[in-house]
Amino acid sequence: MLVVHGVWIAGESAPGRLALWAEDPALPLTSSGRARRRPHPFAAGASALSAALTGSSDDVREALAKAEEATLALRLPGAAKGPLPSPETGSEAPARGLRLAEWETPALVLPGDRALTALGALAEPDPDGPWAAAASLRYLSLLAGHACDLARRGRMLPQLVTEAGVPAARWRPVLTGSDAAAFRDFAEAMPPVCRASALPEAGAARTLRDALNALLDAAARAVMPERLLAGTRPGPRADLSDRWIAALTAVDPALPGAGTAAVAELSHPLEAWLAAAHEANGPVRVSFRLVEPEPGEDDWALDFALQSADDPSLYLPADDLWDGGRLPGLAARPDETLLAGLGRAFRLFPSLHAALLEAEPAGMTLTTAEAHEFLRQAAPLLQAAGFGVQLPAWAGRKAVGLKLTTRTKATSPSGRAAADSGFGLEELVDFRIDLVIGDGTVSAEELAELARLKVPLVRVRGQWVELDERQLKAALKAVNRRREGEVTAGEVLQQVVDGGDEDLPLVEVDADGRLGDLISGNAAERLTPVPTPAGFQGVLRPYQERGLSWLFFLAELGLGGILADDMGLGKTAQTLSLLLTERAEGRQPAPTLLVCPMSLVSNWQKEAARFAPSLRVHVHHGGARKRDDEFLAAVRDADVVITTYGTALRDLGALRTVQWGRVVCDEAQAIKNSGTRQAQAVRAIPARTRLALTGTPVENHLAELWSIMEFTNPGLLGPAKRFRKRFQEPIEVRGDADATAALKRATGPFVLRRLKTDKSIISDLPEKNEMKVWCTLTAEQATLYQAVVEDMMAVIESTEGIQRRGNVIAAMTKLKQVCNHPTHLLKDGSRLPGRSGKLARLEELTEEIVEDGDKALIFTQYAEFGAMLQPYLAAHLDRPVLWLHGGLSKLKRDELVERFQNDPEPMLFLLSLKAAGTGLNLTAANHVIHVDRWWNPAVEDQATDRAFRIGQSRNVQVRKFICTGTLEEKIDAMIERKKALASTVVGTGEDWVTDLTTGQLRELFSLDPAAVS
């Protein structure tokens, strides 16, 4: 299967172009050549790429009809022998020696005006087709959809630009308010591959601007197709303004033969128009607040105010402003700012003219009809243009919805006892559907009367609601459909997941019995806990027994689930107890296939041997694994077959020949990207039920939840395209509360999430005490630090685009190495003692730890630094210092873990963060030290949880080393200030720093003189 990438080639004096290229994992990953520009060793040929893309879709074939085959010089990260494979290929990436290099890559190139059609056609590849979309192509497809949304909402203005010396009529986006924020988000999220074209080189913002200009122009022409009859378009001698207007909707935007003076006369006011449209992007904005009438009154109030764009809590009502009130940070002449803002808003909300007749406008009174006009028309326009808008809490919500009530029949087993196991999805239940407006149900007669009155805003039982005509029509149709009777429990469950339709959503469900237990999303608490199975060597905690009862309940129904308990709460123990429960009383269900990262294979083996020794476990991994008939025989003799994600991909053919009782994915975030080959492979393995184990079902966006749910219950949430439209876009883009509630209701029955910080779940876990350890630089470190800053800033200032990004990351790496130890940077093998503030503090701390008879985990993100520390600390302390890194075999890793956990001698365990950040149980340690910080807090927390988990009986001391006055302290301060944004700003590692300006980088890297000891 080919992995297809998208690259945008920004134009200098002409529109940009879209390039498509693909990786073929079947080709060799390395090249033996040494030329400066070498052929990409595993890039598919342009003809092969074209055949794969166009072979199964007429839309793609038509969209790529004008694509040209070309060879591009792409700047890609990699090692000396080959580029870095993308994660979607499933190939192993080199661990070190990465650098940017140019690779000659076959590609299909499309002009900018064809890019929109192509990206639309490529947005939904066939999961079983010959190609999958890489992150860069998915990104550009999302950008194309955003461009269409801008065009549909009219967020664009016409311009007259010059392209290759010829004037052209083009549409340009107007990015204010939420659209400006979306542009920034797109710039931060751009995969580097999107701008990997070596010539011309461009940064993320410029590449994004160029791509959005081209895509929006094409979208605008699709929204406003040419309406002129053939032969009636103004000729070359017609007035330029007439030709320009016609060209705005024509296929060809060029205006050849226009004089320079005429072009300048028309283009200058158009540019001023575009600039004026962006004026609302200042630090202070005008805000509008709609206030509903008090009971018994009819008039609505629209209040004016000034508000900080960056901190909405800085808010100055217009009444206070005219009385002389001020707020810190707001404009020096707030009266002028308010009046100018109201003047701009008048263009979007003409009814403001009455308020602007006053010398000191503070607000205006609206009728109910005018308030509705503001809600439906003016408010969205003002918000998109950058103005502040505050509406009542009920505004924008679907006023009319459905309530589904089900009752189990008196003769039903589940009607007699909730704990009875006779419930099944084929059981018949009584159902009733009622119409809901606001917080109460309405009769068909009441609904008909509301429809007759045709009042868009109405107070129903004391609550204002907005009645949409489409919703009312949908509700009236629903009245005439069957509203009560008998259906199966499975049909009810599907209705709950579907959530009604867009115009008439399902807003409430009232169900009893075990169906109610499942739909409530609280089945684990409502069901009678299944006791700890007799074969389990240990005792399950109460919340674990509830988890077991939920898992067993789903399994009996043939449904899959996501066990999303917090790290350390015993997902492994609950899964093993489920397998034992199913095999009680001599039953022999089909075997379970457990797929996990390679680092967890031994953990599952040992946990199974410890808690469930009666289970027959077979490991299918490694070069000596069984194949063909031997493999099938091993499966027949096993209760559990453990394999890795990589092996599952490679041996998919063999795994698909077995009808598994269950497929379990541990660390299921590995399949969060539905388009990856390993996610597709795991979904293709047949099984009666499926179970996902993950502490993070959603890391970045809701598409990850869809991908994991698609594995556990295929098809239940519908296709990805529908999920994106129904849930992802409304929730992530608009914060839609109704869509959020609907998604929670749809997924709640299949997701069980408990947190170890919740004392009602687990009350005997000891405390975790986190602290920062401030270290100073030695004089030698300070000198090296300053030298690196000066050298690297000179390099950064002279480069652009992807090369600049690489240089910024290299500078950060070098500065962090200096903070660790001069030898870490110089790699000269020189002596260690007395040259590093961090090492001196580490020596003192580890001496105290071993003297107290304790054990500690010491994490570093640099394997080379760990290799330096291990022999030094062992000699300095005269104690064992174990060292776990990615180069160790599985057997050696297991030996080290076993020794650390069971040897009573005080010792240190030095670990590479990447190799040991997940999957290990190291509760023998009650100290955790992060020597060099990883700027993603979630990664550090996962590493800390190797010690802070069930089985830990002592308080855990967590220390994070930071060199004061350096890059480390400044980024730590950023994290503290932006904790609410950590998952988006810092959650992707350090890439966000590379988009800072040169001045910001110099300030970030600069050394505080007080940092030197």
pLDDT at 978: 40
Most confident of 110-119, 276-285, 738-747, 756-765: 110-119
CA distance 806 to 399: 52
Q: Are strands 956-963 and 156-163 parallel, antiparallel or unpaired?
A: unpaired
pLDDT at 113: 87
Structure tokens of 272?
């001023």
What pLDDT band is residue 986 in, cutting at 50, 70 and 90?
very low
pLDDT higher at 302 or 98: 302
CA distance 413 to 94: 58
Give 57-112 pLDDT, tens digit per residue: 777 888 888 899 999 999 888 887 888 888 777 666 554 567 788 899 999 999 98
> Does pLDDT of 420 surpass 60?
no
What pLDDT band is residue 34 in, cutting at 50, 70 and 90?
low
pLDDT at 990: 43
pLDDT higher at 672 or 856: 856
pLDDT higher at 679 or 491: 679
pLDDT at 743: 82
Give 798-838 pLDDT, tens digit per residue: 777 667 777 888 888 899 999 999 999 888 888 898 899 89
pLDDT at 711: 93
> Does pLDDT of 416 surpass 70?
no
pLDDT at 699: 64
- DSSP code of residue 728: I
What pLDDT band is residue 982 in, cutting at 50, 70 and 90?
very low
SS3 content of the chain, % helix, strand, coil (to 5): 45, 20, 35
Cα 14 to Cα 81, 112, 165: the distances in Å are 36, 10, 9
pLDDT at 173: 93
pLDDT higher at 745 or 639: 639
Q: Which residues pair with 104 in a beta bridge?
A: 39, 73
Q: For residues 118 and 110, is the Cβ–Cβ distance under 8 A?
A: yes
Q: What is the pLDDT averaged over residues 853-862?
A: 90
Closest CA to 15 of 241, 254, 238: 254
The beta strands (E) that lie in 655-746 are given as: 660-666, 687-693
> Does pLDDT of 154 surpass 70?
yes
pLDDT higher at 546 or 11: 546
What is the DSSP secondary-structure string of 150-168?
A: HHHTT-EEEEEEEETTEEE
Q: For residues 69 and 106, is the Cβ–Cβ distance under 8 A?
A: yes
pLDDT at 579: 95
pLDDT at 610: 87
CA distance 447 to 401: 12
pTM for this prediction: 0.54
Cα 353 to Cα 290, 383, 686: the distances in Å are 17, 19, 66
Give 428-478 pLDDT, tens digit per residue: 777 777 777 766 777 777 777 776 767 677 777 667 777 777 777 777 777
Instruction: State the burial class of residue 612 (Cβ atoms within 10 Å of its Cβ: 0-12, 13-18, 19+).
Output: buried
Q: For residues 676 and 132, is the Cβ–Cβ distance under 8 A?
A: yes
Cα 521 to Cα 270, 726, 744, 746, 960: the distances in Å are 56, 20, 9, 9, 38
CA distance 151 to 166: 25
Q: Are strands 68-79 and 82-83 parallel, antiparallel or unpaired?
A: antiparallel
Cα 621 to Cα 660, 693, 753, 836, 1008: the distances in Å are 18, 20, 30, 43, 52
**CB within 8 A of 89, min separation 6: which ones?**
3, 23, 25, 677
Give 869-891 pLDDT, tens digit per residue: 999 999 888 888 999 888 888 78
pLDDT at 687: 94
**CB within 8 A of 562, min separation 6: which ones?**
668, 691, 692, 693, 694, 697, 708, 709, 712, 750, 751, 752
CA 936 to chain centre: 14
Q: Are strands 687-693 and 428-437 parallel, antiparallel or unpaired?
A: unpaired
pLDDT at 762: 62
Characterize 799-810 residue by residue with b for buried, 16 or more Cβ atoms within 10 angstroms of its Cβ, and e for exposed: eebbbbbbbbbb
Of the ranges 632-646, 712-726, 974-988, which one carries the lowest mean pLDDT score?
A: 974-988
pLDDT at 970: 77
Angle at 149 between CA 507 and CA 245, to 5 degrees: 145
pLDDT at 231: 44
Q: Are strands 2-9 and 457-460 parallel, antiparallel or unpaired?
A: unpaired
Percent of the chain with pLDDT over 90: 23
Structure tokens of 932?
């060099």
CA distance 798 to 795: 5
Kindly list the strands in the beta sheet with 660-666, ordered across the sheet, starting from the edge strand earlier in the chain.
617-619, 640-644, 592-596, 660-666, 687-693, 561-563, 751-752
pLDDT at 987: 32
> Does pLDDT of 118 surpass 60?
yes
pLDDT at 582: 92
- Beta-carbon count within 10 A of 235 CB: 9
pLDDT at 171: 93
Instruction: State the burial class of residue 164 (Cβ atoms within 10 Å of its Cβ: 0-12, 13-18, 19+).
Output: exposed
Q: For residues 262 and 269, is the Cβ–Cβ distance under 8 A?
A: no
Q: What is the pLDDT averaged over residues 307-322?
A: 82
Characterize 254-275 residue by residue with b for buried, 16 or more Cβ atoms within 10 angstroms of its Cβ, and e for exposed: ebeebeeebbeebbeebeeebe
Percent of the chain with pLDDT over 70: 84
As a residue count, the chain comes to 1013
Termini Cα distance of the chain: 57
**CB within 8 A of 210, min separation 6: which ones?**
8, 10, 11, 15, 16, 202
> Does pLDDT of 695 surpass 90?
no
User: What structural domains and CATH numbers belong to the chain?
Assistant: 2-155+175-223 (no CATH), 280-390 (no CATH), 400-519 (no CATH), 527-752 (3.40.50.10810), 768-1011 (3.40.50.300)
Give 603-649 pLDDT, tens digit per residue: 788 889 989 999 999 999 888 899 999 999 999 999 999 999 989 99
What pLDDT band is residue 279 in, cutting at 50, 70 and 90?
low
pLDDT at 941: 76
Q: Is 624 left (phi over 0), alpha (psi -120 to 50) or beta?
A: alpha
pLDDT at 124: 78
Across the chain, mean pLDDT equals: 81
Give 348-372 pLDDT, tens digit per residue: 888 998 898 898 999 999 988 888 8
